[in-house]
Amino acid sequence: MFLKKKFLFHNSIPVFLSPSPSLRFDLHPTQQVPISQKQILAKKKPSISSTSTHQAMAASVGENSVESKTTLAELAPLQAVLFDIDGTICDSDPLHHYAFREMLQEIGFNGGVPITEEFFVDHIAGKHNDDIAKSLFPDDIQRGLKFVDDKEAMFRRLASEQLKPVNGLYKVKKWIEDRGIKRAAVTNAPKANAELMISSLGLSDFFEALIVGSECEHAKPHPDPYLKALEIINVSKDHTFVFEDSVSGIKAGVAAGMPVVGIATRNPEHLLMEAKPVFLIKDYEDPKLWAALEELDKK
């Protein structure tokens, strides 16, 4: 297969040999990239406010001003569960980090020094590609958009062989199916990525709808994708909760008026808690999750 020609695998970690010409970015190694990792990290992060007009509940994302229920039991009877994809149903962030790190280093970004995990978490993980392109290449957005498109192609090649579900995913899947609860996938990922991940995990028949941020007026951290999911599967926010692993995703779910269960697969717990999930779990086997679902079942 093409992937094996280009990569060696050591303990399931890809070892980059040489990029495909289609993945090369049209920038001479001696040219300066518009902005460096150090410069981006030094910038003060802007506050982001939602401008969605879908519903009055879509208030300021930055302030998380929409109050959500504090326990899952308050959602009874539960109508639906909404899932993010990257990092929530599969541990895909290491593959994304690897692809960004290799390709940015290839073009001399940050003086050729590989981006750190801290940089990846703060400026890439959970964000829409348009925003990533603007952040990394603020003076040449079109160049940035081409870069992220090529990076996604590289990610799909990696994911096709290495993607694994988050621990306990199929256990919570059965719990949902046994109770006839509706479900949808809501993501900032490109549609091709989302469909590949869902299919690779055998979940094509599980999700009733797939909502992609680029097909909404605003992507996460705005609430639009989650509001659209509620509309498509015809359920109430008062009887629905969300699984999310990123700060932007948790903010989106909270701004849409729903309780969010944060999954600390990769992102730092203190950052996730600042986005105000109802609680955090390590994965879907976490006793904290099953205690909450048991309480919900009793209502």
Catalytic residues: 84, 86
| Tokens found for residue 248 | 């932007």
Q: What is the DSSP letter of 109?
A: G
Four-point Cα dihedral 192, 195, 197, 200, nearest 10: -120
The answer to whether 125 touches 87, Cβ cutoff 8 Å, is: yes
- Strand pairing class (182-187; 210-212): parallel
Which runs of consecutive H residues, i.e. helices, occur in the chain?
A: 2-6, 37-42, 93-106, 117-123, 129-136, 141-162, 169-178, 191-200, 224-233, 247-255, 269-274, 287-298
d(CA 280, CA 295): 17
| Token pair of 14 as six digits | 């890809």
Which residues make beta-bridge pairs with 10?
13
CA-CA distance, 247 to 277, in Å (whole number)? 9
Residue 168, Cβ density class (10 Å: 0-12 exposed, 13-18 middle, ≥19 buried): middle
3-state secondary structure at position 249: helix
